C-alpha cells in the first residue's frame, strides 16, 4: 500500500488542517478557456480557422465534394467504447452517409476501445474488405 504524506494523513483524518497549494500554471488558462471560449478561436483575428477545421471534417467533405454512392468505397472500423469519443463521430458520419444514400462497410467491436487489441480484432475484417479491391493490382 502506498504511504501518504503526514500532512495528508492528518488533514484527511481530522479535516481540520489543510495545505494550500498554488494551482498549476495551466489552470488559469483552462479557466479562461471555459469562461471565454470565443477568445480561443477568434474569427475576426483568424478567419481561416473555421474553414480549415471544416475542410478536414469527413461529414462536411461529403457535401463539399458532393459524394454520391458508388463514387468511392469506404470502410470504417471502430470500437463502441472508444476513449476519445470517436465512436460518436463515426456514428454521426454513418448517419449522414445513410441520409445521402452512401454505402459504407463497417467493422464494429461493441466492447472495443481506441487501442491495439481492438485494432487487431478489427484488422481481419478490413483486410477481407480490401482483398478484392487490391487483387487486380497484385503481381501475377
Query: Are 120 and 102 contained in the same domain?
Result: yes
Per-residue CA distances from 18 to 11, 71, 99 (Å): 6, 64, 57
The pTM of this model reads: 0.62
- Give the closest residue to 77 by CA, choosing from 116, 126, 110: 126
Residue 23 included in any domain: no
Per-residue pLDDT tens for 36-73? 444 445 555 666 766 766 677 899 889 888 999 999 99
Q: How many domains does the chain have?
A: 2
Three-class SS of residue 111? coil
Q: Is 106 domain-assigned?
A: yes
**Is residue 16 situated within a structural domain?**
no
Domain match, 129 and 72 both: yes
9 assigned to some structural domain = no
Structural domain that includes position 55: 30-66
Q: Say how many C-beta atoms besides its own lie within 10 A of residue 97's C-beta.
A: 20
Give the lowest-confidence range in 4-8, 97-101, 109-113. 4-8
Q: Residues 110-137: pLDDT tens digits?
A: 999 999 999 999 999 999 999 999 999 9
Does 18 map to a domain? Answer: no
Q: Answer whether residue 22 is part of any domain.
A: no
Amino acid at each position: 500500500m502506498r504511504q501518504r504524506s503526514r500532512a495528508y494523513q492528518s488533514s484527511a483524518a481530522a479535516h481540520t488542517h489543510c495545505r494550500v497549494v498554488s494551482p498549476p500554471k495551466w489552470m488559469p488558462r483552462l479557466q479562461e478557456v471555459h469562461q471565454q471560449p470565443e477568445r480561443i478561436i477568434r474569427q475576426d483575428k483568424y478567419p481561416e480557422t473555421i474553414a480549415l477545421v471544416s475542410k478536414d471534417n469527413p461529414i462536411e467533405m461529403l457535401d463539399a465534394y458532393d459524394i454520391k454512392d458508388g463514387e468511392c468505397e469506404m470502410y470504417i472500423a471502430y470500437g463502441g467504447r472508444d476513449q476519445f469519443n470517436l465512436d460518436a463521430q463515426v456514428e454521426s458520419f454513418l448517419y449522414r452517409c445513410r441520409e445521402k444514400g452512401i454505402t459504407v462497410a463497417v467493422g464494429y467491436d461493441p466492447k472495443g476501445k481506441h487501442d491495439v487489441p481492438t485494432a487487431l480484432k478489427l484488422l481481419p475484417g478490413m483486410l477481407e474488405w480490401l482483398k478484392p479491391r487490391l487483387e487486380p493490382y497484385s503481381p501475377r
